[in-house]
Amino acid sequence: MNLFIGLISGTSADGIDAALVECDDDAPAHCLLRLGRTYRWDPGLRARLVAIGQGGDCTSLDELGTLDIRVARAFADAANALLAEAGVPAAQVKAIGSHGQTVRHRPRAEVPFTMQLGDGATIAERTGITTVDGLRQRDVAAGGQGAPLLPGLHAALLAHASESRAVLNLGGIANLTLLPAGIGASLGFDTGPANALMDAWCERHTGAHYDHDGKWAASGTLDEALLARLLSEPWFDHPPPKSSGREQFHLDWLSERLHGNEVPADVQRTLLELTAASVASALLAHQATPQRLLVCGGGVHNPLLLSRLAARLPGVAVESTAVHGVDPDFIEAMGFAWLARETLAGRPGNLPAVTGALGPRILGAIHLA
């Protein structure tokens, strides 16, 4: 058995998720969470990362370089704090898999690229642990979307021989992994906004970073006309492979579709319905008879969102991955620990059928301790 750490800050930049994971090199499907924690960002750093992630520009190359190192230091601090709480010395950890903080994701651009901040060399230096970073870039270089990268792990942990399932990650952006009975991961793709828009709208109007338990949304009324305008976004009609981020779905995008006299709580309720509607539509378009939808990510704690997903997916059991022994809050961080393990073992980490890459690729850059 080997220990790995996975580090990620998602699209919402609501914290750094750190997972201490036990992996078996002789059993690629073995991935067990030993400890998971979320560490909060410095508020000023988070605000700047969110602004840039929503399409804002850095003021200079100096700022970009400084942010890269500040993010790396925060990630290293998270890894060190996790090990201290677990009582595990750094020497016992084989590697860190660090996703970093995405600030731009343009896989469909004329010159495709994806950019995550959080210098892996700095993480390796400050933790004393070999670090694998840049895990999306090689897939993009090979013509892929660079996302999603975790359907292989979803299949290993949650596929079922006789039941058609799908895994839904409700992070800042929602993504699906389709797991037909007995097949494994057949397809994975982003479906559109999940928490990123709701969090941003909630913060603008209430000051809270997110809508706790969906209570504010529940106080509002669904605006069907606004929902129709939001769903008319051409991105939703793009076939897989596809991925997205804050640079696609942000508050300016939303504002362009508002008349200006909407009640803020009604907009929040409608944004929640946008997530449910876009997920349900995408799932049924690509997996006609799913039996079970297993949900992870921050959105799993929003009961109104889960109930709306269930209402739009009659006959489908909608439940947390926790029911199946997988912590919904740390499966993404676990995934980047798992990807580091694959990289060090010389195995490809992407699924070309999912990302659209030209073929399997070994992902990431290795920074030796």
User: Do 35 and 70 share a domain, yes or no?
Assistant: yes
pLDDT at 329 over 70: yes
How many structural domains does the chain have?
Answer: 2
Q: How confident is the model at residue 98 (pLDDT cuts 50, 70, 90)?
A: very high
Name the residue among 189, 172, 3, 30 with its Cα closest to residue 87: 3
State whether 346 and 303 are in the same domain.
no
Q: How far apart are CA 41 and CA 48, in angstroms?
A: 11
Q: Quick check: 224 pLDDT over 70?
A: yes
Helix (H, G, I), strand (E, B) or coil at 106: strand
Q: How do residues 34-55 score in pLDDT, each as one tens digit?
A: 999 999 999 999 999 988 887 7
In a shared domain, residues 67 and 155: no
Q: 301 and 211: one domain?
A: yes
User: What integer pLDDT is reported at residue 232 of this predicted model?
Assistant: 98
Is residue 1 scored above 90 in pLDDT? no
Q: Note the pLDDT of residue 323.
A: 97
Contact between residue 100 and residue 76 where contact means Cβ atoms under 8 Å apart: no
pLDDT confidence band for 19 (50 / 70 / 90): very high
**Torsion sign over Cα 145, 150, 156, 160:** negative
Domain that holds residue 281: 151-324
CA atoms of 211 and 170, how far apart (whole Å): 14
User: Are both 273 and 362 inside the same structural domain?
Assistant: no
- Record the pTM: 0.93
Q: 95 and 209: one domain?
A: no
Residues 211 and 259 grouped into a single domain:
yes
Is the distance from CB of 226 to CB of 257 less than 8 angstroms? Answer: yes
Percent of the chain with pLDDT over 70: 98
156 and 142 part of one domain: no
pLDDT band at 28 (very low <50, low <70, confident <90, very high): low
- Return the pLDDT at 244: 87
Are 126 and 156 members of one domain? no
User: Would the pLDDT of 117 be above 80?
Assistant: yes
Query: Tokens 């809508």 correspond to what residue?
Result: 211
**Average pLDDT over every residue of 265-289:** 96
Q: What is the pLDDT of residue 59?
A: 85
| CATH code at position 49 | 3.30.420.40
pLDDT recorded at residue 29: 67
Q: In this structure, are 53 and 189 located in the same domain?
A: no
Residues 78 and 197 in one domain: no
Q: Is the bond preceding residue 148 a cis peptide, omega within 30 degrees?
A: yes
Together in a domain, 319 and 339: no
Average pLDDT over residues 147-176: 93
